[in-house]
Amino acid sequence: MNQDKALELIKQILTDVVPGADISALSPDEDFRVALEMDSLDFLNFVERLSGRTGLTLPEKDYPSLTTLSGCADYVASRTSSA
C-alpha cells in the first residue's frame, strides 16, 4: 500500500471512529487524538480498525507513530509495501 492509499484509509477510519469530525481540517503533523478530542477508547477503536483493514499487527509500543496523519501513513505504507 502506498502512502496516499494509506492516508485515504486512515481518514476513512477516523471518520468512522469520530463521526462528524472535520478530517480535512487536520494538518499532516497534528496529533489527531487531541484535535478530534479522542479518548483512549476512541484511539483503541481506531487502532483495531486500522489493524483489521491492513492486516498489520499494531503493538502498543508503536502507538506513538500512529497519532498524526503523516506518521500513521508512513507507518502503514512502510509495513505493507511488500504485501
Give the three-state DSSP class for 26: coil
pLDDT of residue 81: 72
Q: Domain coordinates of the chain in residue numbers? A: 3-73
Give yes or no for residue 12 having a pLDDT over 90: yes
What would the pLDDT profile of 25-58 be if each residue is shown by its tens digit? 999 999 999 999 999 999 999 999 999 999 999 9
Q: Could you name the CATH architecture of 3-73? A: Orthogonal Bundle (1.10)
pTM score > 0.95 for this model?
A: no
Instruction: Retrieve residue 15's grid coordinates.
Output: 471518520
Q: Name 4's Cβ contacts closer than 8 Å, sequence gap at least 6.
A: none
C-alpha cell belonging to residue 77: 505504507
